[in-house]
Amino acid sequence: MTNLKKLITSSVSAITLLAIIPLASHAEWRHNEYYAPYSGHNIETWNYYGNDGKPKEGWFSVGGKWYYGDEEHEDDYYGIYIDEWAPAYYKGYVDSSRVFHTDYGAFDYYCGSDGAMKTGWFKAYPHNNEEVGLHWYYAGSDGKILRNTQTPDGYWVNSDGIWK
């Protein structure tokens, strides 16, 4: 009878712990698609959710690649940057007049078609402006584009980071 009481007590304790402590979620990529009336077509986004179940924001690494998750998550409306320039950092703050401001660092990083930060030589539109045409850029191993200097392989890039 004593063993049965111990078994029941242990089982109740284990069930109570499982009810109190949620099961750990796992990190995963999620794809979303929605209709955007302002653009007149469907928009696709990718988000990476961490073990806490929340979408990653700012710079984060997955599988040795760096990605930039938009800080303005509204039900997955925004995702990681894909084929666009990404800022060094983002800071949102409220001033003494209770007005919200955003402060972005320089857009010196580029996320390619897979969303990963580019390094080495790559082609991109300056400041995401497709009317200007594609240009060659060089990003160092840290992902930051070189400006007004010579690349490791001897080519000159101007103050905008463009090879001329």
Q: Where are the domains of the chain?
A: 75-157
Residue-level pLDDT, tens digit, the chain, 164 residues: 566 565 455 554 545 544 444 445 688 998 888 887 777 888 788 889 999 888 888 899 999 999 998 876 555 556 888 899 988 877 777 878 888 777 777 889 999 999 999 999 999 999 878 888 899 999 999 999 999 999 999 999 999 999 98
**Predicted model pTM:** 0.74
Contact criterion met (CB below 8 Å) for 99 and 126:
no
pLDDT at 4: 56
Q: Where are the beta strands (DSSP E) in the chain?
A: 28-36, 41-49, 58-62, 65-69, 84-86, 90-94, 100-104, 109-111, 120-124, 135-139, 149-150, 156-157
3-state secondary structure of 157: strand
Q: Does domain 75-157 have CATH number 2.10.270?
A: yes
